A and B are shown apart, each in its own frame.
Chain A
Amino acid sequence: QLQLQESGPGLVKSSETLSLSCTVSGGSISSSTYYWGWIRQPPGKGLEWIGTIYYGGSTYYNPSLKSRVTISVDTSKNQFSLKLSSVTAADTAIYYCGRHYHDSTVYYSYFDYWGQGTLVTVSS
Chain B
Amino acid sequence: QSVLTQPPSASGTPGQRVTISCSGSSSNIGSNAVSWYQQLPGAAPNLLIYNNNQRPSGVPDRFSGSKSGTSASLTISGLQSEDEADYYCAAWDDSLNGLYVFGTGTKVTVL
Contact = CB atoms under 8 A, between A and B. Distances in A.
A107 B33 contact: yes
23 contacts: A46-B2, A46-B88, A46-B102, A47-B37, A47-B102, A47-B105, A48-B102, A49-B90, A49-B102, A52-B100, A60-B98, A60-B99, A61-B99, A63-B97, A100-B100, A101-B50, A109-B32, A110-B47, A110-B50, A111-B47, A111-B90, A112-B47, A117-B44
B88 A107 contact: no
Contacts of A8: none
Given A46-B88, A114-B46, A108 B51 contact: yes
Interface of B: 1-2, 31-33, 35, 37, 44-47, 50-51, 56, 88, 90-92, 96-105
Nearest to B103: A46
Contacts of B32: 107-109
B99 A62 contact: yes
Contacts of B51: 108, 110
Interface string A95-116: 0100011101001111110111
Q: Which of A107, A115, A117 has the most CB of B within 10 A?
A: A107
Contacts of A114: 44-46
B45 A47 contact: yes
Contact of B35 (A48, A61, A96, A109): A109
Contacts of B44: 96, 114-117
A6 B32 CA distance: 29
Q: Which of A39, A101, A104, A110 has the most CB of B within 10 A?
A: A110
A49 B100 CA distance: 6
Contacts of B2: 46
